[in-house]
Structure 1
Amino acid sequence: MKNLVIMKNRQAVTTSLQVAEAFDKQHKDVMDTIRHKLQSAENSAHYQKMFALGTYQDSRGRTQNMYYMNRSGWSFIAMGFTGEKADSFKLAYIDAFDAMQDELKHQNELVMTPEQKLDLLIETGSRANHRIDHVEERMDDFEANRRLESGDYTSVSHGVSKAVREYIQDRHLQLTQEQRSALYKDINGGLNQVCGVRTRTQIREKDFDKAMQYIDDWSPSTATKMMMQQAGEQTAMEV
């Protein structure tokens, strides 16, 4: 698990990914906020000093964009987040930035041999990590429960619609809106159960492949099948 604040090019920074996780935001929304600031005509040059584009590997091995940001950049992004949980993470970030900056200042003031510098670097990392251990546990939980990015959620939604549509077409069913809703309720209920969530919007990124496999293998429950069969028989009688 990454720390809230890391050292990059001798500067204390965090990332858009970490900010999104800590404050329970969609990463794309944090990225859009940063892009908007960088593209604004006013103060654009000033924002360029706060943010730097980087990349990371997501849980499925894909290369995704993110932004590094220094303390000033983080302040611009986080100042709009409100609530008790947001305040607790703001304080944790401030402590982490302070810890990293204090250690960097301490290192700059000392004249040391390469071996001493290495020892201090190790000690610095240990002390900084210790100061945010209580936050790390909560961050681990966020990491394990990261929700789907918008593109993956769209894939799940399209998959559900396609599965229901093909079920109806393959059996030449003429269904009422209520009966169609029963099919959607069936597939969504099973999907939520398999992924351990209450609603489809809560599906986690780590469960994406499991969700898509369920959709591919989906077949309505016996009760739902009987309802659809009755609908088909009724349609045949009417014809």
Structure 2
Amino acid sequence: MNDLKVIGKEHIGKIEFTGIEGGFGKNKKAMLVKDIAQIHNQPLSEINRRINDNRSRFKNNIDIIDFLNGSEPFRKFAEDNDLIGSNRTQHVYLLSERGYAKLLKILDDDKAWDIYDQLVDNYFNMRVAIKNNEPSLVQQRRLSIMEENAATRKANMLYKLAMATTSESSKQALIAKGAEVLTGEMEIPILKEKYYSAGEIAKELNISGKKVGMIANELGLKAEQPGQNEYGRWANSKSKYSDKEVPQWLYTEKGLRAIKKELKTIA
């Protein structure tokens, strides 16, 4: 288990959490998700849900350890250190610095990144640098992290703006700008996917737009707003009845085929 051990309560400003070393490598710092939930002022169940919904993005024993669904020594460690809340507890997650960074991308708010700056500066890296008497590395690491986090936030904001616009040319330009912020290179993406409105599908299949929406809902084709999936994506469009913009689900070719196939089965 890479000498997994509890090193006691850690304090960074007003943040208090259980310090843990090992699990992801010798002397590597880690954090319990139950502490992360408290730090971000969110229910543990919500943080676990966000992890479970994106579980494939977290690599076992590199980003994440689940004490209750791993090897027996991990479960015993959790039991010995009173980490299991009750018999109904399904997951006791431990995240590495890399795993925590992935979780922050999912949580995606300014508070999350500000907290991450503090934790990286003072918990994940500071001890090692001080022990090795390398204060210049601490400062360099801090500046690097701050620059990376600022670039990530800016790129994410540009992506959200791109997803919110109905102009395809503006969308391409915003996505390209986001790529430039992250990579330093600006490349206008080529839109290969064609999208169809409910009205366009209704016209092609000779049914009402309302019918298209009903079939899509029955099949569960639509992602949660403002997301996207293989069947389509959400976009904002101007309401025909007012100047307000309203969310509209646009269908991919696969979404169109799914509607068409279902229509044949109920015909």
TM interval, shorter chain, is: 0.3 to 0.5
* TM-score, L = length of structure 2: 0.31
Q: TM-score, normalised by structure 1?
A: 0.34
Higher relative contact order (CA 8 A, sep 6+): 1
